[in-house]
Chain A
Amino acid sequence: MGLKRDVSLMTALRYKGQGPFLTYILHRIGGLGMAVFISIHLLASFLGGSGGRFVNNIYQNWAFQIFIFFCVLFHAINGLRITILDLFPKLIEYHRQAITIEWAAFLAIYGFAVFNIIRTALGG
């Protein structure tokens, strides 16, 4: 039997899951981004040649690094929050506060990473 969704795409996009839903979606996007990138990066490094160098040069581009750092850092920091709350279920009552702390940590670390990537790209 095929998959049946009970809501339309527009209804899904209007879903008011707010902060927790946003972290859920970004966690999946970050995980998928890493899985795709790392698989291609491994294959490119393994195959080598001009094709492999071309792919790895894209990876070293500053714009791509900003994207992949978002995937890695958000997935890692959000994953730590999920792990802590799952291993200590009594803390789930405070999951919204945990998400606020998570965003503060993410923005500080990611902001610093982006600043350094751009500074290096500009030759600083």
Chain B
Amino acid sequence: MAAKSRNLSIAKRGLMSFETIMWAFTRLSALGMYVLIIFGLIGALIMGARRNMNFADVMRWAFMPNVTHVENTNLPDTTPWASPLWKLTASALLVIAVGHGVHGLVVIADDYIVTARGRQIVRILSGVMILSMIGIGLYLIWTS
């Protein structure tokens, strides 16, 4: 017989501390990325991926719907793939993914960097990384 769960419900845990908020952000941003990835997947199938792209190409597009990711496929015309809708989708995915990913890196770094000074440096570097990656990513998405 399975042991009774001793885990608290989300309501009982509370969402007051920064760490708890980021814990929730990590889970909810993962779900947000799933929604955007499935949206990209459905969009690719509607725009003709089934006949002109292989599975790996479709996955590459779904994980980042940027037109440069379908340039090496057999698509006769990639104009619909570069529409503002897909640029907005890619931008949303980029912002969520960078926030999710950089926070994940901070969590891993905290397991190995235990001094207050070290952790402060990690947080400054993570802030720089978030801003630079989002800036570069948005530039690439909107100029491609």
Contact = CB atoms under 8 A, between A and B. Distances in A.
Contacts, number: 78
Interface size class of A (residues with CB under 8 A): 35 or more
Contact of B136 (A46, A94, A119, A120): A46
Given A32-B108, A93-B2, A116-B55, A39 B30 contact: no
A95 to B, nearest CB: 10
Contact of A3 (B9, B59, B114, B140): B114
Contacts of B31: 83
B101 interface: yes
Interface in B79-134: 97, 101-102, 104-105, 108, 112-115, 129, 133
B61 interface: no
B54 to A, nearest CB: 5
A32 B4 CA distance: 35
B9 A89 contact: yes
Contact of A42 (B2, B54, B63, B136): B136
B139 A46 contact: yes
B56 A113 contact: yes
B30 A79 contact: yes
Interface residues of B, number: 37
Given A3-B114, A69-B56, A86-B27, 18 more contacts: A28-B108, A31-B101, A35-B101, A38-B97, A38-B101, A39-B129, A72-B63, A76-B34, A76-B37, A82-B30, A83-B30, A87-B10, A89-B5, A89-B8, A92-B7, A93-B3, A116-B56, A117-B56
27 contacts: A1-B114, A3-B112, A3-B114, A32-B105, A35-B101, A35-B104, A39-B129, A42-B136, A43-B136, A45-B68, A46-B139, A65-B56, A76-B33, A86-B27, A87-B27, A90-B5, A92-B7, A93-B5, A112-B55, A113-B55, A113-B56, A113-B59, A116-B56, A117-B56, A119-B54, A120-B54, A120-B56
